[in-house]
A and B are shown apart, each in its own frame.
Chain A
């Protein structure tokens, strides 16, 4: 839900509560005010009557006496405190022939040593008659407010939130790789100022960290590769000297370990670079051609292992991938399919515009197949590989938003890569009925 809609809804809720309470207040206020005004009027009238009595004379038919009762009372009936009080209640109004609200104001006077009680009354509008009016007017106020808030809820945020939206756009376009500090729009809103300040600080820090990470990766690569190169050179030279057989074995073992070290190192550096997204796709590569070339380069290895290779390679499959990465992807997958194969086994390569499927015969992996994508996980712990090839493959797929899946079904290792983010790779495996043609067989 949009922020502005949330605000508007909250305003509606608050308005409703305020208007309900406000309505009640107005209702009671009017009620009280009407009574008050009437009471004051009647007190004045009572005072007037008292004056007439003190002047003396006959006022019996005087208009002031129309709704008044004057009675002389004994001294002990005089109230001690307040000289006036009023009562209200429903009474029969003979003029209108209806039960109406009657207000009676009773005052006490002492005139020339005699005590009087003067009471006047009048019929006032019933409070129940006022209620619909109050409700009606508040209904209109509420309607008006609703319309205004709804309109302003749409228009005002557009104006107020525009710096925020521009900031959002800038942040969405931010790319560590471009190594450009972000330029945020000016704003007069304190919160947005603070947000912009924070974002600026954060992205600058990220850029700085990225830079130092990159430098570290490059330095580490440089600093570690050189000693490795030195050791390797020394071993090469040592091999040329006059050595005994047992020493030769030691040198050979060192060579193997060194080889592994340098491979692990270069693979990890490569993974770091992939994670840093240092390879951006240029022009789309023709995967059909590249697949064929890669298969050709592995021809001898396939023959040596007496494997049968069959293919279905669709023409002109172009995907937007850095050519080195495409090469790496295919080489890793195909060399894996060869290496982890069984003698006399088979390899099937299916390339369509939707994706790539490579299947090969092989032994049951000792780990769940999904774990094989992790670094240094190997299906066969005894094998000589370093277990990083598939991690690189997955990293490339992640980078390109390709979906990849690995399955082991009845002696077949199946790896499928879907080139379309919307298509799950496992879907590709459901339809494997492509016309395969055999490229190589022992």
Chain B
């Protein structure tokens, strides 16, 4: 996947770049509207990450250009401004999603995948990983031929793990993904533990491999190679 990161803060852009590069995405950076215009004129991108507060103007202007000439690209707005207006204007002008700083990189990745799935994979709502099948339309999880009785939160959690496989996911990142981040809900970490525990129990009960492992002190990891290691 080709990603264009339009973000004026070099460090933040590099974080995103480093994280996404590990997924095998080809990332390009531009710090200003001018540079972004130039790149957009020359290349096509699958996904464009757009910061609204750019040094040479509001990033929403770029959105018009992108919508005119790059209909196929997914646009994800990244903004430090939680202003509701920006959110609504951004989504009305054709952005596909909106993410408020500070976000977890895993969250950004999950959003990119979700937007990409919605738009580019057309009719298929199935995500497959080894024996695990997720239907994003019916929120149904299947292990082999067994349908798992999962709650919506557990489904979201599993999807989050699979999208961010082989990565350490902190409890904060998981809590923010499951419950959003506008409530004063730090106590939700216990609930993360509960959810992960339930999910692991359910997958194991259906005869699936327990890919999820605890990372001491930090959180959890979905270990894609566990299956191969065991067999």
Could you list which residues of chain A lie within 8 angstroms of chain B, going by C-beta atoms?
218, 221-226, 228-237, 239-240, 245, 248-249, 251-252, 255-256, 258-260, 262-263, 266-267, 269-270, 279, 300-301, 304, 324, 328, 331-332, 335, 339, 383-389
Name the residue of chain B whose CB is nearest to the CB of A327: B182
Contacts of A388 in B (CB 8 A): 184
Residues on A with beta carbons closer than 8 Å to the beta carbon of B185: 335, 339, 385
Cα distance, A94 to B205, chains bound together (Å): 144
Q: B121: CB under 8 A from chain A?
A: no
Q: With the chains together, A384 CA to B185 CA distance in Å?
A: 9
At the interface, is chain A mostly helix, strand, loop or mixed? helix
A245 touches B216 (CB 8 A): yes
Question: With contacts A239-B170, A267-B184, A386-B184 known, is A252 near B104, CB below 8 A?
Answer: no
Pick from B19, B167, B183: contact of A331, CB under 8 Å:
B183
Partner of A252, one of B18, B170, B190: B170
Number of A-B contacts (CB under 8 A): 134
| Sample of 18 further A-B pairs with CB below 8 A, known A229-B80, A251-B218 | A221-B81, A226-B12, A232-B105, A236-B19, A236-B106, A236-B170, A236-B173, A237-B105, A245-B217, A248-B218, A259-B172, A260-B186, A262-B102, A300-B151, A301-B191, A335-B183, A385-B185, A386-B184
Cβ of B82 under 8 Å from chain A: yes
Q: Determine the distance from Cα of A267 to Cα of B183 in the docked complex, in whole angstroms.
A: 9
Closest 9 CB pairs of A and B: A233-B15, A229-B102, A248-B217, A225-B80, A222-B80, A228-B102, A225-B101, A229-B101, A239-B168
Nearest B residue to A260 by beta-carbon distance?
B186
- CA–CA, A434 to B7, complex, Å? 55
Chain A CB within 8 A of B215 CB: yes
CA gap between A185 and B153 in the complex, in Å: 61
* A-B pairs with beta carbons under 8 Å apart, 17 shown: A222-B53, A226-B12, A226-B102, A228-B102, A232-B102, A233-B15, A236-B15, A240-B22, A240-B168, A251-B217, A252-B170, A252-B219, A255-B218, A262-B102, A301-B188, A385-B184, A385-B187
Min CB distance A354 to B, Å, is 26
Q: A218-B81, A222-B81, A385-B184 given as contacts; is B215 within 8 A of A248 (CB)?
A: yes
Contact B16 A226, beta carbon cutoff 8 Å: no
Residue of B nearest to A263 (CB): B184
A33 to B12 alpha-carbon distance, docked (Å):
105
B216: chain A residues at CB < 8 Å are 245, 248
Residues of A contacting B15 with CB < 8 Å?
A: 229-230, 233-234, 236-237
The residues of B that contact A269 with a CB separation of less than 8 Å are 82
B187 adjacent to A237 (CB under 8 Å): no
Name the CB-closest residue of B to A383.
B187
Chain A residues near B131: list those with CB within 8 A: none
State how many angstroms separate the Cβ of B151 from the closest Cβ of chain A: 6
Known: A225-B101, A228-B102. A263 touches B186 (CB 8 A): yes
Q: Is the beta-carbon distance between B194 and A304 smaller than 8 angstroms?
A: yes
Residue in chain A with minimal CB distance to B10 = A230
- Bound state CA distance, A389 and B181, in angstroms? 13
B84 contacts the other chain (Cβ, under 8 Å)? Answer: yes
User: Contact between B187 and A252 (Cβ–Cβ < 8 Å)?
Assistant: no
Given known pairs A230-B12, A233-B12, A236-B19, the reply for A324 and B104 (CB within 8 Å) is: no
In the complex, A387→B185 CA distance in Å?
10
Q: Which of A221, A226, A228, A240 contacts B167 (CB 8 A)?
A: A240
- Interface readout for B150-193 with A: 1 if CB under 8 Å, 0 if not? 01010000000000000110101100000001111111101100
**Given that A229-B80, A237-B19, A269-B82 are known contacts, is A385 also in contact with B102, CB under 8 Å in the complex?**
no
Hey, which chain B residues are within 8 Å of A263, CB to CB?
181, 184, 186
Cα A255 to Cα B168 with chains together (Å)? 13
Q: Which residues of B contact A256 (CB under 8 A)?
A: 172, 186
Interface centre among B81, B172, B219 (most CB of A within 10 A): B172
Q: Quick one: given A221-B81, A230-B12, A248-B215, are A255 and B172 in contact (CB under 8 Å)?
A: yes
A230 x B217 contact (CB < 8 A): no
B42 at the interface (CB under 8 A from A): no
Task: Give min CB distance, A330 to chain B, whole Å.
Answer: 11
Name the residue among A218, A236, A256 with the largest chain B CB count within 10 angstroms: A236
Please give the distance in Å from B95's CB to the nearest CB on chain A: 18
